[in-house]
Structure 1
Amino acid sequence: MDAFSDLIRGVRAHGSLFGSSVLTAPWALHFVDGAPLTVCTLLTGEGWIVPEGHPPEPLRARETVIVRGPSTFTFVDEVGTRAEPIACGEHCATPEQGGTRHRLGWHDGAGGPGTTTLIVGAYPARGEISSRLLDALPVVLRVDAGDDPDPVQDHLAAEVAVDAPGQQVVLDRLLDWLLVCTLREWFDRPGGEPPAWWAAQRDPVVGQALRLIHAEPAAPWTVATLAKRTGVSRSTLAKRFTELVGEPPLSYLTGWRMTLAADLLVERRTATIADIARTVGYADPFGFSAAFKRLRGTNPSEFRRAATV
């Protein structure tokens, strides 16, 4: 388990939040639900993504844009379009009315010259784990079309053109594939500034330490045991980890444990504080509560009550 896999594992596509459409100008689709993450990929044509409070972003064929909420955004044929905005959200594709084959308020033409084919997937991305990923992203990130065809987009184009059993599951998984590939390409872009944990994963020593922490967060890790498993001295590990990640190994471990604990407190409402403490590596619930309050500013019980109101 690596840091990126851990952070993105709670981000999954869901059928009612998926939509596709063939559009003929003029158009203006206003995505009103303010999803934490929305993936927009253009199979054909071109248009503009206009995020609330941010400059417009052009979107051309075979390009992908990810919009981070909670701000809403509009997809238009051109900036200043004369089209009246159509409100779109989770009800633009309702399963009881045919799932992704039925888009309320979207123009469904037969395609052809001058049309634009848009694929949209909104992600709920709830919880503290997902927040760590969202915090590393700008409001809008884009990945330009490459020189070679994107197999994910090819599969999406083929799947939306048919109506077959299991189509929704296929579309959801393809959209998840597109999201992961887009984020990886954006983090690795030339001249980019990826989050520290992303770049640190490439280091043979620090990357291995991060994988160990994420694979076994409840293990009784010390700098010495991590150093032994990565094949370096304690001082070498501590220095390189702090330089690349921005904090010492055990500080990172504690922060990650508290992130896991925050989600567990909400997801496992019948679990005791002692149960949660043991799950994230604390034999003493009082020590766990003290660490949680030090990092979160509130104790675990208060956090759970506030999150479940």
Structure 2
Amino acid sequence: MDAFADLFRGVRAQGSLFGSTALTAPWSLVFVDGAPLTLCTVLEGTGGWIVQDGRPPEHLAVGETVIVRGPAPFGFVDELGTAAEPIECGEECARPELGGTLHRLGWHDDGPAGATTLIVGAYPVRGEIGRRLLDAVPDVLRVELGGTADAVRDLLAAEVAIDAPGQQVVLDRLLDWMLVCALREWFDRPGGRPPAWYAAHRDPVVGHALRLLHAEPAAPWTVSSIADRTGVSRATLAKRFADLVGEPPLTYLTSWRMTLAADLLAEREAATVAEIARAVGYSDAFGFSAAFKRTRGVSPTEFRRIA
């Protein structure tokens, strides 16, 4: 497990709004479901514009994909200043007057010649782990043509056009795959500024150390033991890790353990604080509680009460 893969624990499509809509101009869809992340891709036609208050409009051409951060509503219009009346689309949206339909299960309407076919998928983002991923994502993330996401988009187009058993499961997993491809391409783009923990994975020493910490977060790690496992000196590990990640290895580990603990406190209501402490690498509840309050500002018990 690595830091990037770990963040997807709290971001998983399940029964997501997923539809295919053939739109004829003029149109104005407004997505109001408040999803933390929404993926939009145009399969054919003339494309359109993603618009949202306080953000520059983004043109979406055929084959392109954008991922929009919520929870604020956003629109998809045929052109800026369109004369179309806005139509709200939430968890369920059926608008035959637009020439197509949006709904939970995949459905396809070829529509008239030249219609713009839009696919939309919404992600729930749960817990503290998922929030870490949101913190690394811009307001609008654009995926250009010509990358690894193209193949996934083609599979989405094929699956959304059929009616077969297990379709929702397939669409959800394709949506997860699309998000991974989109984020990797955005982080790896020329001139990009990916999160430090993502860029650090390319370093053979620090990348190895990060994979160890994420694979075994509850292990009794010290700087020396991490250095031994990565095959470098303690001083080399400490310097390279701090230079690339922006903080010392044990500071990073503590932050990650507290993120894991926050989700466990919210999810496992029957577990005691001592059990949560052991699950994230602390031998006693007192030391864990002190570390949790130092990083989170509240005790584990208080956090559980307000979570």
What is the TM-score when the length of structure 2 is the normalising length?
0.93
2:166 is the counterpart of 1:166: yes
Find the counterpart in structure 2 of residue 86 from structure 1: 87
Does the Cα contact within 8 Å between 1:32 and 1:87 map onto a contact in 2?
yes
CA RMSD of aligned residues (A): 1.7
Find the counterpart in structure 1 of residue 105 from structure 2: 100
Find the counterpart in structure 1 of residue 71 from structure 2: 70
Structure 1 residues 266, 148: closer, same or farther in 2, change over 3 A?
closer
Cα distance, 1:92 vs. partner? 2.6
Structure 1 residues 232, 101: closer, same or farther in 2, change over 3 A?
closer
In the TM superposition, structure 1's runs of 4+ consecutive aligned residues that sit over 6 Å from their partners are none
Corresponding letter in the other structure for 1:65: V
Find the counterpart in structure 1 of residue 305 from structure 2: 305
Structure 1 residues 282, 226: closer, same or farther in 2, change over 3 A?
same
* Unpaired segments ≥5 residues, structure 2: 95-101
2:280 is the counterpart of 1:280: yes
Corresponding letter in the other structure for 1:68: R
Does the Cα contact within 8 Å between 1:23 and 1:109 map onto a contact in 2?
no
More deviation in 132-141 or 14-23?
A: 14-23
Structure 1 residues 241, 156: closer, same or farther in 2, change over 3 A?
same
Alignment of 1:117-266 (within 5 A): 117-146=117-146, 150-266=150-266
Name the SS of the counterpart of 2:80 in structure 1.
Answer: coil
Name the SS of the counterpart of 1:125 in structure 2.
Answer: coil
Which string of whole-angstrom CA distances, capped at 9 and with x for unpartnered residues, describes residues 69-110 of structure 1?
Answer: 1221101111111111111121237xxx974256xxxxx753
Query: Equivalents in 2 of 1:122, 1:132: separation in Å?
Result: 18
Corresponding letter in the other structure for 2:68: V
Find the counterpart in structure 1 of residue 56 from structure 2: 55
Find the counterpart in structure 2 of residue 18 from structure 1: 18
Corresponding letter in the other structure for 2:268: R
Which string of whole-angstrom CA distances, capped at 9 and with x for unpartnered residues, describes residues 2-50 of structure 1?
Answer: 1000001221112242222111111111011221111111111201111
How many residue pairs get aligned? The number is 299
Query: Equivalents in 2 of 1:226, 1:148: separation in Å?
Result: 34
Corresponding letter in the other structure for 1:92: C
Cα distance, 1:113 vs. partner? 2.9
Cα distance, 1:148 vs. partner? 8.8
Find the counterpart in structure 1 of residue 37 from structure 2: 37
* Unpaired segments ≥5 residues, structure 1: 103-107
Does the Cα contact within 8 Å between 2:19 and 2:160 map onto a contact in 1?
no
Name the SS of the counterpart of 1:25 in structure 2.
Answer: coil
Name the SS of the counterpart of 1:110 in structure 2.
Answer: coil
Does the Cα contact within 8 Å between 1:49 and 1:73 map onto a contact in 2?
yes
Name the SS of the counterpart of 1:111 in structure 2.
Answer: coil
